[in-house]
Amino acid sequence: MNLAFIGLGNMGLPMARNLVSAGYRVYGRNRSKAPEEEFIRAGGIGGLSLEELAQKADVIMTCLPLPQDVEEVFLGERGIVGSGRSRQILIDFSTVSPDLNRKVSAEAEKKGMDFLDAPVSGGNFGAVSGTLSIMVGGSKEAFDQVRPILEVLGENIYHTGDVGSGTAVKLINQYMVSVHTQAASEALVLADALGMDRESLFTILDASYAQSRIFARHYQSFIAKNDFEPGFALKLLHKDVGLVQQMAAAEKVKMPFGDYVLDMLEQAKASEHGGKDMSAMYLFVKDLQK
């Protein structure tokens, strides 16, 4: 089985490398060429156009930052759907919207292709270690066909229902990630103002009801080290929470705290911290005190 992986960023590159290590023949493509060259050094195959990938691969995967990137790669003039063939399976690991998932799926179906929305959770750490959580919407038959591929990439793999359902689950996850991020950031800034020892505070809270995986991730891997090189950037969390609020509005569900967090993320995105890891919300909240 030939695989293609489009989008070799912080998440996509380690995911694609893991597939190569598992013995698959993998064609990789990235907009900037340095990651593609790194992928080639890891045993992958690069240098192909979208049209060439669409002809060679049986399963085509994407992991892209923005909805417009996903739409262009799949439905653009030289995109995968127009250039591909029947019986291919398309898997999108990006976080977009259920509506875009359904739009791509409808066009793919006209070509006899199956489309699966399969957003992931676990960050670049999970991508490297192959321990991601993967939430998959789409045909159960197609899901069963590609499950061995997904098992290379993740430990917790769920079929969530029809196309778009995987993305709905992921967006709810991202909403809770954003809330935990905001709460942890504000709490730590308050602790700083009170002169508390952060390490002791973390130890206590991590053993109490305030514990969360996001708090542990942000504090241990970024804040305690004063290193905010992005695993997942603040500006991408802003994008995701915007999609959450759009989804909620379509269902006429009011999410007041979501409005607050989205506003904070919008301000943080426009600041010097927008390109840093999402844990840098702590830095942004600290700046607000000045």
Q: Among the options 170, 235, 239, 269, which is catalytic?
A: 170
Residue 60 DSSP symbol: E
Angle (CA) 243 249 255, round 5°: 85
User: Is 235 labeled as catalytic in the residue annotation?
Assistant: no
Contact 258, 242 (CB under 8 A): no
Amino acid, res. 37? E
Q: Provide the CA 74 distance to its chain's centre, in angstroms.
A: 17
Bridge-based pairing of strands 132-137 and 120-121 is antiparallel
Calculate the dihedral angle through the C-alpha atoms of 22, 49, 115, 144, rounding to the nearest 10 degrees: -20
Contact 10, 124 (CB under 8 A): yes
Cα gap 193→10, rounded to integer Å: 34
Residues marked active site are found at 170
